[in-house]
Chains A and B, each alone.
Chain A
Amino acid sequence: MTATTATPIQARVRRGTALTRALGSALPVCALLVLLLAALAVTDAGFYEPDRFLAFVRRAAPLLLLAAGQYLVIVSGHFDLSVGAVVTTGVVAAAEIYHSFPGAHWLVVTVVLVAAGALVGLVNGLVTTGLGVPSFITTLGMMLILEGGVFYWTGGSPTGYLPDDFRALGRQDAFGWLPWAVLVCVAVGAGVWWLTRSSWGRTLMATGDSERAAELSGVATARVRTVAFVLSGAAAALAAVLVGGFSGVSAQAGSGMEFEAITAVVLGGVLLGGGRGSVLGAMAGAFALTALFTLLNLRGVSGALEPTVQGVIVIAAVALGAADLSRRRRRSPAPPAPPPAAPAGEGPTHPSTGGPTS
């Protein structure tokens, strides 16, 4: 009853503020990005020569893909800590595939990898939503399983090589100047952006915002979330193809990337816990993070101190974003009012459902 009367009003309000809100949450990261790009221009005059700038974008590409996938999972209220391990596994698995089938077509191998990544995501999603395991633990366990599995499979040191046609996606240019990686990123970014505009994307957002409300209005929250995990796994596998092409086979290919991706997404103004943020912000966050790494490199910050500077900037940037958000929330005290009412109505149902079972 209440749901049917509330939906149209809510929808209208949401449509009115959707654009401003999307821009609003991504505003700090855009400012940070402009700042970093300006600093890069000052530090290195040649940075904006087309080929060098495109090379920089190519380097950022894997993280952009991971951020796009991670965004979908985070906005639905979960984490995916397994993406770094998926990248490592993908790179090593590609080398193993070429070891067994030297003549395999690159497209076939890529499709197999992406399908395998999607399968990993499917397992993550089913375990999280079906068995009710917190995604932090599910994907952490998946990370242990994949990393352990890869090293067990290869005996600790992956060998093999990746042929040039497979590596083209990660290091070659289309039409002689535009890196394939950029095209892949733009395609994936546009795809995810389109998805978030679709009805599936809206239910995903609603699920992350309030699972109970979404469930009561008829969203199959488990299915929506599982699809998000599947897409994140597939994006990670695609990132593995780019990483493999860019830097070859290594057992460390994806180590630490899960935290980088989550940092990028949060830097992009996406709320950990779900329900708020835009994919453009998330990808801008990934871009900003790569720009930060590049800047630190060019500035000659001692390689060892790099994490320290990174940590300080990440905390500062997120703190600034949080400060903005809390101020905006205080200015409009109306939205927070409904939530206290919902638990109050929910409260009495708990003892009554608990009673008969015990």
Chain B
Amino acid sequence: MYDIKALYEAQSVADAIRLLREHPRAQIIAGGSDVLVQIREGKRAGVELVSIFSLDELRGVNLEEDGTLRIGSLTSFSHITKDPLIQKYINVLGEAVDQVGGPQIRNIGTIGGNTCNGVTSADSASTLFAWDAVIELTGPEGVRKIPIKDFYIRAGKVDLHPSEIQTGILIRRESYEGYAGHYIKYAMRNAMDIATLGCSINVKLSDDKKKFVDIRIAYGVAGPVPMRAVHAEAYGKGLPVSGETIRKIGDTVSEDIMPRDSWRASRAFREHISKVLCQRALTEAVRRAGGTVPDDLSGEMGGAAL
């Protein structure tokens, strides 16, 4: 039995915004896989809820005219994984969200909820950071679009204005065209877990596949919010594809990340794993981009599988 004061079911995006204005203290609920857990824990006991769950207009993945991939915020993880457009253009996102919890959570959980929750461990978030995703927000003043790195303000806090809802996540053509990526979730068990660390990397290689034209390295749980390893990325750009480069990029990651020391894992341990994941994900991303690593470290680092 959940301690819920009232549940208002929105019929459209406009209706949702109206309900949120009428009930300024209300919490938005989509799939409920985070909100209901918080209510059960007593954190939001007696809460008013505005449900956007029936807004089918926010479900699905489309390719817009300019080549932008548009993911409706209510699209469930399992639908993202199985979506042909996702599989064709940014399959790594489908792979990442397929590692969320278990099958039931992936059927009910939405990508919008996963990002609006503001937690660093969200399996979708690091990959969305790696793809330079843009967050679309709709509120009383209309629609605004902001880069995902600006959407995350601090742990548990995202840039969602009063009466605003997240309506879509956009990946622009220039973000994905010519890139290939890989996500590794490091957790304490092989299912039903949150990431101790997540690393999502995508690369663009030169035409001859010998050089890194671009590298985007994103982490979850390496800091209070998902982040990019900008120094490591900058270091690797333009360098030849080699085990040596990959090793050095991995070593540079420590300049970018700031993992916590907690009972869940020590800072030193997370730093070590950050390096290992970076090297493994990078090696696999190169392979997926059609390249090969001449002095392949995957033997030394244990391949891509974790």
Asked if chains A and B come from one complex, the reply is no
